[in-house]
Amino acid sequence: MTAPSKIADPEVLYVVTDHVAVITLNRPGRMNTISRAMLSELTAHLVAADKDPEVRAVILTGAGRAFCAGLDLTEVMSGGEDGITTSAAVATNLDLRDTPPTVLFNMGKPTICALNGSAAGYGMDTALGCDIRLMAQGAKMAAAFTKRGIVPESGGTWFLPRLIGWSRAAEVIFTGRTLSAEDCVEMGLASRVVEPENLAAEAMALAQEIAANAPLAVQAAKRMMRMGLSETFNDHVHHVFLQLLPLLKTKDAAEGMRAFMEKRPARFEGR
């Protein structure tokens, strides 16, 4: 009698609890390096979380001892249709709209990266694409791109100068330096360092604190922050005012003001 074949565990896990979606990179034996299949799975889960009206905040984390050690180089270097070959023609019209970094950046829901371990290469860029980062004690960010003969391919060259300034970003990227969790907090790349055993609980507590607020207002605030990256001040305050007008007509705005007057927690519905 032939033994039944073992069904492989999903490489990306997705769970929604109390308005919080937790997306977990689940390839711990390979330090959560990103396989081709994981790119599609991660995109699908990010899109699902952003579309689900019950989800008000998203946590992205990893299983095992690493958050994400980058792309799976065994696949990348294997050549063939999707691999690297030195003699292959290079496409100049790549469509990156449905790739995780682009989808993550364009999400309306707030995102928290709980770095349970080190993030290198693609993993570092993915962490930087989240709105908030918490890091376990001992976790690191490794900007090792130039040490591998490449550049930060998934947003690092855009995020780092905006997060920590040109000079510090240039130093990190040009040297390919590895940053400790404490370095990241000091530079402003992470909010705080957390004991490893408390990371999941603290990330969930933060996500639920966000989820307790009016979701339409939180998402509008994120949208305005993102627009403000490329606007003048005068244009920005004009757009904020235009965003405020429809919010004032929502049930959540009325509930928020009523709860304040009645000195009780608000019960927001996302309407």
Please say if the pLDDT value at position 124 is more than 70: yes
For residues 61-90, average pLDDT: 67
Residue 64 reports pLDDT greater than 90: yes
- Over residues 120-142, the mean pLDDT reads 94
pLDDT on residue 25: 96
User: 135 pLDDT band (50/70/90 cuts)?
Assistant: very high
**What is the DSSP pairing of strand 20-25 with strand 12-17?**
antiparallel
Q: pLDDT-derived band of residue 161, with 50, 70 and 90 as boundaries?
A: very high
Compute φ and ψ for 115, nearest 5 degrees. -80, 95
Average pLDDT in the 201-216 region?
Answer: 96
For residue 243, the SS3 value is helix
Q: In the predicted model, what is the mean pLDDT of the chain?
A: 87
Provide the pairing of β-strand 20-25 with 57-62: parallel
Answer whether residue 84 shows pLDDT above 70: no
Write down the pLDDT at residue 94. 62
Position 180 pLDDT exceeds 60: yes
Please name which of 210, 252, 222 lies closest in space to residue 55, comparing C-alpha atoms: 210
Burial class of residue 3 in the structure, from the number of CB atoms within 10 Å of its CB (0-12 exposed, 13-18 middle, 19+ buried): exposed
Count of CB atoms situated within 10 Å of the CB of 163: 16
Per-residue pLDDT at 75: 59
Give mean pLDDT, residues 46-61. Answer: 97
Give the mean pLDDT of 195-215: 96
pLDDT at position 83 is 44
Average pLDDT over residues 76-102: 59
Over range 58-70, report the average pLDDT: 94
Question: What pLDDT is recorded for position 134?
Answer: 98
Confidence of residue 93 (pLDDT cuts 50, 70, 90): low
pLDDT tens for 220-250 read 999 999 989 889 999 998 998 898 899 999 9
pLDDT, position 138: 95
DSSP state string for 121-163? THHHHHHHTSSEEEEETT-EEE--TGGGT---TTTHHHHHHHH
Q: For residue 86, name the pLDDT band (cuts at 50, 70, 90).
A: very low
Residue 59 · residue 22 · CB < 8 Å: yes
Find, among 2, 97, 107, the residue nearest to 45 by Cα. 107
pLDDT in tens, 25-41: 999 999 999 888 899 99
pLDDT value at 3 more than 50: no
> What domains sit in the chain, N to C, each tagged with a CATH number?
12-211 (3.90.226.10), 215-262 (1.10.12)
